[in-house]
Amino acid sequence: MTSPLMDESLSRDRFLGGRLTLLQPKRGYRAGVDPVFLAASVQARAGQSLLDLGCGGGVAALCAGARNPGLSLTGLERQAPYAALARRNATENGLEMTVYEGDLTAMPGELRQIRFDHVIANPPYFRRDASVPAQAEDREGAMGEDTPLASWVEVAARRCLPGGYVTFVHRSERLPELLGAFALHLGSLELKPLLPRAGRAAHLVLLRGRKGGRAAFRLHAGLVLHRGETHDCDGANYSPEVSRILRDGDPLIFAP
C-alpha cells in the first residue's frame, strides 16, 4: 500500500475516554483494544524514551504518551501511509512523536544508533504458512507475518537500553515461540494472560522482559476482560478494571 490515506477514507476514533482522537482507515487495518492494553502495561516515567515497532497509525505509542507526560515517543512503520498517519495523529493530539519509515530488518541508519528505555510491539498475529492472507493490502501488512517473530524480538532487544524493558502483545497460540525468543535476548520475563471471560482460556498475552534482567520467570494472574459468562447485553460489557484501563487511562499492572 503506497497511496496516501485520504480524509474521506478515515474515521475519527476516541481512545482513553476521549483523551485521544485518532484517525484510522474506515476499511483495512484498524487498531482495537490490543495496543491500548500494550500501552497501559508500560511502566514509564517522564524523561524516558519509548520505541513502537510497527507502529501503524501510532495508537499504542500515543496512548503511552497520553498516559505518561514527558515520555519521548518514536515509531517505526514500513507502510508509508500509516507512517504519515501516525505523524498526523501525534500532531493533532498535541503530542511529539518521531516516526521513521522503514522495515524492521532494514531500519534507517539513524534509528539503529538509538536505544530506548521501553520497546513495545504488536506484531502481525498470523503465520502465513498456516492461514489465509487478507485481501486488503494494508490489513495483510499489519496482520500477516512475513518477518519471523524471532526477528521482531531480536530487533526489539537490540534497540533496548540495558535495564530497559521490551513488551509485546500477541496471540496465546504463539506463546511458545515468543517465550523462546524472549529468553534468548532478555531476562526477568513476566507473562500476563488476557482472558475473554472468567474461566475461559486466554486468547491474548502480554509478555515483558528486561535487558540484562536476572529474576526468575513470573506467570501472573490473568486479566478478565468482560463481565459474566456470556455476552448477553448491548455494548462492550468490560469488567470494571478493564473499563478503567481503556477509558480512564489506568495502568495495566502485571502484579497488583
Q: Is the pLDDT of residue 103 over 50?
A: yes
Q: What is the average pLDDT score of the chain? A: 90
Q: Is the pLDDT of residue 165 over 70?
A: yes
Q: Given this model, what pLDDT does residue 220 score?
A: 97
Q: Given this model, what pLDDT does residue 222 score?
A: 96
Residue for cell digits 507526560?
A: 69
pLDDT tens figures, 12-58: 999 999 999 999 998 878 888 999 999 999 999 999 999 999 999 99
Q: Given this model, what pLDDT does residue 231 score?
A: 55
Res. 7 pLDDT band, cuts 50 70 90: confident
CA torsion, ordered 96, 25, 251, 116, to nearest 10 deg: -40
pLDDT tens figures, 186-216: 999 999 999 999 999 999 999 999 999 999 9
Residue for cell digits 530487533?
A: 155
- What pTM did the predictor assign? 0.89
Q: Is the pLDDT of residue 176 over 60?
A: yes
Range from 116-125, 141-150, 173-182 carrying the lowest mean pLDDT: 141-150
Which residues sit opposite 148 in a β-bridge? Answer: none
Query: In order of start, what are the domains of the chain with their CATH numbers?
Result: 9-247 (3.40.50.150)
Q: Given this model, what pLDDT does residue 17 score?
A: 94
Where does residue 228 rank: exposed (0-12), middle (13-18), buried (19+ CB within 10 A)?
Answer: exposed
Q: Given this model, what pLDDT does residue 166 score?
A: 98
Q: Given this model, what pLDDT does residue 113 score?
A: 96
Q: Name which of 7, 10, 27 is nearest 139 in CA terms.
A: 27
CA–CA distance, 133 with 141 (Å, rounded to integer):
9
CB atoms near residue 75 (< 10 Å): 28
